[in-house]
Amino acid sequence: MMGAGHGTMGTVTEVAADHYTIKTDTGESYTIHFSANTRIVKQQVGPRQGGGGGMGNGGNPPQPIKPSDIKVGDAVAAMGEVDAAAKSVGAVAVVQLDPERARQMREMQANYGKTWLMGKVTAVDGVKITLEGSLDKTAHAVVADENTTFRKRRDPITLADVQTGDMVRVEGSVKEGAFVATAITVMGPPQPGMPMVPRANPPQ
């Protein structure tokens, strides 16, 4: 669930004085370089227990920790410039994820393209919307039908209000090779530098 090419998440396999090595869910090793300027925090889980938990509200501001507080085996998300060729990230922030949240995020990633999609609208053709997926950078065709609901943040809109360039989140399922949307939410432009990590908002 990272922002557009500006981060990665995985499990720590090595901790060093100026970097971590992580293994991503796709099995790749990435080096996360950090410095005195890197914000290293622990994701705080909200007081709500049970009740589906999910990605909903509840959650406290992340708590600053020392680089050495992150251990091998921890799940972390790193935000910063990704060098895909070198498989490295110059981290502006590293978040130690709560294990349960990390599991939920992995589950969500596993369901990407099956029950949900997120990305930028590249074309609208009748009831067909083409997205560039924010997780995989590939094109996805989404089909709306008479049961699809449309929202912009919390306000109801129509298919005609969905524009090329919009960031959208789509929920639905794959039927006969097409992703049929039950709900399409226009999210507005992403905030630059905002990590796409649930509930890990920087303190004001």
Region 90-112: mean pLDDT is 90
If you average pLDDT over residues 134-158, what whole number do you get? 93
* CATH for the stretch 7-109: 2.40.50
Per-residue pLDDT, 61: 83
Q: How far apart are alpha carbons 140 and 5 in whole angstroms?
A: 17
Residue with tokens 């995020």: 105
> Please, are residues 153 and 118 in contact by the beta-carbon 8 Å criterion?
no
**What fold does the segment set 116-186 form as a domain?**
OB fold (Dihydrolipoamide Acetyltransferase, E2P) (2.40.50)
189 Cβ partners below 8 Å, 6+ apart? Answer: 167
Residue 75 has pLDDT above 90, yes or no: yes
* Domain ranges across the chain: 7-109, 116-186
Same fold, 7-109 and 116-186: yes
Dihedral sign for Cα 55, 59, 63, 66, please.
negative
When pLDDT is averaged across residues 85-99 and rounded to a whole number, the result is: 94
Q: Is 164 exposed, middle or buried (0-12, 13-18, 19+ CB in 10 A)?
A: exposed
Question: What share of the chain has pLDDT > 70, as a percent?
Answer: 82
Please report the pLDDT score of residue 51 as a whole number.
42
Would you state the pLDDT for residue 26? 81
pLDDT of residue 59: 60
Tell me the per-residue pLDDT of 169-200, one tens digit each, with 9 for 90 and over: 999 999 988 899 999 999 865 544 444 444 44
Give the model confidence (pLDDT) of 47-66 as tens digits.
Answer: 544 444 444 445 678 899 99
The average confidence (pLDDT) of the chain is 85
Q: Rounded to whole angstroms, how far apart are CA atoms 141 and 169?
A: 13
Structure tokens that stand for 154 in this block: 């919390």
Position 46 pLDDT exceeds 80: no
